[in-house]
Structure 1
């Protein structure tokens, strides 16, 4: 098996899976949470920013003495963006590392693959980095989302395009559960504005060839195209569209709301619309944003990205859940503590859960990449 990577205390250490799961943590690291995600592969850029944002908050909490006198240890393991590997490493994190929860994993098929594991071990998944409707409805007792659904984002984006006069919109979607779920939201948006896509086509999740799809988009005379896919695949799709001569407005979803995605787009970044599920990362009117910016500057970082804010917000929710679970938390106690959270302010945004609602937040917005390679609202 290829080696996986674990991020501990800001260090990156390449370890084999067996070595990883035999890691002897310091005696103080009693609050362990497992973070299986695509540290390598087509989503690596955004995942690394998710992890950086979460660690920004956890490090600050630990510097103040931790939670109920115990420090939080996040074990970040590379699942290579492969659902089978996600389950494999997660099972070992649960059974051998004794994590209290899984946290901030990336991917819709990957999160779906974890659901039986959560039920088997009665252990929560907090802040999955996906807006899949299957994690929201019906409510899963072990899943606690900290973001809006992809369907809401996709519908809002289509409605925006129609509102600025676009009537010829194409839809390209990755051929997996994430693509199907997000496309359903886009089609709801089309229905709302009484339109249909001029082209709807799928592409494989692994190593797609966009040349023919780009030619189809060009022939359709699309004014805009929504690309539903990972950061790497979406960037390659945009490059193929431009190479085929299409000048269509490109819009994609918040799974690509990272500085890394902008870098992947390169010269084609300007003008790409990306939906967002957190406030503007430069809007210090939100205490959540100001806190993250202050902590980032204290670490010598230039600022925070949308993907970092997703990790930061999820870390705040996880920390509050651990605090409420008491000095000797169990996975079940953590689950119960989270479900009892009502109108908890994480910095200008209110988090609420109940037995009938595990969405947490429902914020949704649009951004566009400017000439400087920054998201603008």
Structure 2
């Protein structure tokens, strides 16, 4: 039985990536040995060149999930003036929680989940509070929508703010130009649009800003972006790094390139969402949408039909048996958890997989509606 993951957490990966785990145990790599430098150099280079940012930004890598990269950005890039964080979903709230626990000055611009940020309100708060940085989540996975990163980046640039963007759910699957968006720090992870296991987080940082970060201490030694950058630029790492995750990340980057790069991956995801969203509408499901907020390419948030509970629907799909497949879907988060559920279209699946899922979804909804 193949369990198809329609979640953004863990899903089936390309064979080129899976092969690393099978082979690595035969000849592991010492994290501080001579074989590390060429691998680290290649991965750092490919992470930025794959998104067209090699001339303006550099990558700094951590053995961590994406949340580690959030902690690194908050602990390294927010000075005594503090940060204004735009929050219209669970991951904006996570930025706030991390920054507050680090005893940073935080101005929380809190909106309803999925609501479009107002640039005039942001500017007024910046002027009132005198912060030095602006935090945003680009791909708002709580509602499967995308925030206006270019508009807010232009505002941050005009106000001379450091612009820190959580791009974990957007990089490689949404249009993104770091220079056009004036992004100083892009928070990222390899296990979403890149299709690698969740073992490595990273940040992509504007080059001149890295020189400044290297001259100051961060609040978390393990996630000190400036210190790590200096060490990684010379081919080393301050702490133990996972070489297998590096190799899996490189395999995922090579697979991405072999399939046509970022533009081709975006097109693949858009083809999936078009197929699925047309199917949802035929089934009478209502998509969660807010005015002025485009939908993500990685998935769709849907209102639960009246009288149907998420757990019941999830259990039926998880125990589906046709075609030797079953399906795992995702609940909503926070304020939407009792109203909305989410279906993601990430990973190494073909369109027929999603067609079979739509059939299973129809049968399960009909069964629960009786």
TM-score, normalised with respect to structure 1:
0.36
Name which structure has the greater RCO, CA cutoff 8 Å, separation 6+.
2
TM-score, normalised with respect to structure 2:
0.36
